[in-house]
Amino acid sequence: MVNQQVAQKFYKTADLLEILGENPFRVRAYRNAARTIESLGRDLSEMVAQGEDLTKLPGIGKDLAEKIKEIIATGSFSKLRELEEKVPPGLVELLKVEGLGPKRIKTLYDTLGITSLEELREAAAKGEISKLPGFGKKLEQTILKGVVLAKKEGRRFRWAYAEAFAVELVRFLKKARGLKEIEVAGSYRRKKETVGDLDILVTAREPAQIIDHFVTFPDIKTVISKGQTRSTVILSSDIQVDLRAVEEESYGSALHYFTGSKAHNIAIRSIALKAGLKINEYGVFKGEKRIAGRSEDEIFSAVGLPFIEPELRENRGEIEAAMEGRLPRLITLEDIKGDLHCHTKWSDGKHTVSEMAEAASSLGYSYIAITDHSRRLAMIKGLDDEKLLEQAREIKEVRARFPDIHILHGIEVDILEDGSLDLSDEALSRLDIVVAAIHSKFKLSKEKQTERLLRAIDNPRVNIIAHPTGRLIGERDGYDLDMERVMEHAKARGCILELNAQPSRLDLNDVHLKLAKEMGIKVSIATDSHNKDNLLFMRFGINQARRGWLERQDVVNCLPVEGLKKLLKSQS
């Protein structure tokens, strides 16, 4: 939890500095530090307590190290407080709107006095924004759409962000005397990509004692309510947490009820009614007699169904599959044999090939693909043909030092506007794996963007299409694509589609993944790692894959290395 808090404060500092037009190098320093902290595999508070040198972390100098210590000690730091006094709070919210960066936000504030999403929407609707220098009608329409997206997200948080608080809350509550059972329910338990709030269920000898303990959680900003069996609080992160203490006899039914989804619960209740039963959060009843409720297994068994995993509970066919005995055996993290999308210092990664290989080996992986960016992304030192040859020589040397892990030499090659690739077929033919991706021209028409991807899929050198829709959760909608055509083309060509496990992407989404499974399209779950700690993002991809009904046989990086090499060769 501490890591997420520090990262968010550094991100906010960078945003405020940009809005004020401060030195771009300082802005970049805060952002880079936030990314390092966000993907750190260790708890910063523990590192500080043990007196470790934080300046050894990538992008953390002496000044930022001191600020981290100040945040851990006080919950904030002086520079951020100073900036917050200078910048109206609503301006930071505007950064969520596509098409708006800090400079444009400053212009909107200085010229039109805009300080909120609603004021921005009104100004765009009246045509006031398009009159400003450097804006125009097209950008005004983009801003209008962006406001809708930002409002739609509302007070929802990415699952990975909410997880840090959920884990810490559970750890804290387990210290309370008399606690028996505890689970975080709701959309968090279903592993939805965004979470509105956290619903925690407990059983205990003395529920009031658990409630008393709960409201002493150090990160609480506001206690909304506090009763004998229930309490609601708001954390400093603005996440709402509802704690409910239930009877042991009702724990399973309450867990099922509060896990949801609403549509799934209604469908289960309908089955119960046809059998003369009633299901609610207190149990399963035949008349006035409670016949089940202690566990979720009892709930499903009462209506003649096997246990349905929480990730599937969206009423998207899971009940019918359960009735017919064809529920999927959902993929697990232990099924993963390697990672097929990783960056190093050769482009915009933070670690060397050797360091990435060593980190992957420590996770028990059989293989890792090094896929740095191609030359199109010059600002991050993308590789051209000559640099690819240099990298190949280094990878050959590293392979000799790490015989226990197979290092695939690959590239994340840019798909250009016309669908051609950023490197020659000759250069790509020397590689073990080619991951192709769009990094520019996001606003092409649906027809052009679709044709762009189809042409890339047609290239026999392309093994995988990375982050296929290009969406960023809560920040940017995906490209305007005919996904059905793209997926049909991928199926026909045997092209693999990536599930990008970066918590800001999770692209493909769960609906597309389920469709890919039904169509027989293979998926690669990849972390798109830019440092060795990012390799741990694989679990976020697993969450999404499970929501998309994926099993081990649907995912290419569940294959042993020889099976993977055979598959890649068959695509050429």
Q: Which two tokens stand for residue 559?
A: 């294959």
Q: Rounded CA gap, 202 and 520, in Å?
A: 41
pLDDT category at 46 given cuts 50, 70, 90 is confident
State residue 59's pLDDT score: 83
User: Does the pLDDT value for residue 152 go beyond 60?
Assistant: no
Q: Which two tokens stand for residue 431?
A: 């590689």
Q: Output the pLDDT for position 41.
A: 65
CB 453 within 8 A of CB 415: yes
Topology at the third CATH level for domain 2-153: DNA polymerase; domain 1 (1.10.150)
Residue 85 pLDDT greater than 90, yes or no: no
Report the top-level CATH class of 157-245: alpha beta
For the stretch 304-334, what's the b/e string if a residue is b when 16 or more beta carbons lie within 10 angstroms of its beta carbon?
Answer: ebeebbbbbbbbbebbebbeeeebbebbeee
Given this model, what pLDDT does residue 378 score?
A: 59
CA distance 448 to 462: 19
Instruction: Find out whether 328 and 550 touch, Cβ atoms under 8 Å.
Output: yes
pLDDT of residue 45: 85
Model pTM score: 0.81
Encode pLDDT of 469-506 as tens digits: 999 987 788 898 999 999 999 999 999 999 999 999 99
Q: How far apart are CA 304 and CA 302, in angstroms?
A: 6
Mean pLDDT score across all residues of the chain:
92
Task: List % helix, strand, coil for the chain (3-state, nearest 5).
Answer: 50, 15, 35
Q: What is the pLDDT of residues 333-368, one digit of tens each?
A: 999 999 999 999 999 998 999 999 999 999 999 999
Pairing verdict, β 338-342 and 157-158: unpaired
Q: Is the pLDDT of residue 552 over 60?
A: yes
Mean pLDDT of 109-117: 88
Q: Does domain 333-571 have CATH number 3.90.420.10?
A: no
Q: What's the one-letter identity of residue 373? A: H
Domain boundaries, the chain: 2-153, 157-245, 250-323, 333-571
Scored b (16 or more CB within 10 A) or e, 185-224 reads bbbbbbbbbbbbbbbbbbbbeebeebbebbeebebbeeee
Q: 3-state secondary structure string, 83-141?
A: HHHHCCCHHHHHCCCCCCCHHHHHHHHHHHCCCCHHHHHHHHHCCCHHHCCCCHHHHHH
The pLDDT value recorded for residue 495 is 97
pLDDT at 1 over 70: no
Residues linked to residue 184 through DSSP beta bridges, in sequence order: 200
Q: What is the pLDDT of residues 396-449, one digit of tens each?
A: 999 999 999 999 999 999 999 999 999 999 999 999 999 999 999 998 999 999
Helix (H, G, I), strand (E, B) or coil at 181: strand
Cβ 463 vs Cβ 435: under 8 Å: yes
Closest by alpha carbon to 369, among 359, 380, 357? 357
Query: Contact, 542 vs 482, CB < 8 A?
Result: no
The CATH classification number of 250-323 equals: 3.30.210.10
Give, rounded to a whole angstrom, the gap between the first and last alpha carbons of the chain. 45
Q: 250-323: same fold as 2-153? A: no
User: In angstroms, how far is CA 558 from the centroid of its own chain?
Assistant: 21
Q: Which amino acid is at 361?
A: S
Backbone CA torsion sign across 290, 291, 295, 301: negative
Percent of the chain surpassing pLDDT 70: 97
Asked whether the beta carbons of 182 and 537 are under 8 A apart, the reply is: no
Task: Tell me what pLDDT residue 187 has.
Answer: 96
For the segment 258-283, what is each residue's pLDDT rounded down to a tens digit? Answer: 999 999 999 999 999 999 999 999 99
Which pLDDT does position 537 carry in this prediction? 95
Query: What share of the chain in percent tops pLDDT 90?
Result: 69
More confident residue, 150 or 136: 136
Determine phi and psi for 525, rounding to 5 degrees.
-95, 115
Q: How far, in whole angstroms, is CA 299 from its chain's centroid? A: 31
The neighbour count for residue 106, using CB atoms within 10 Å, is 16
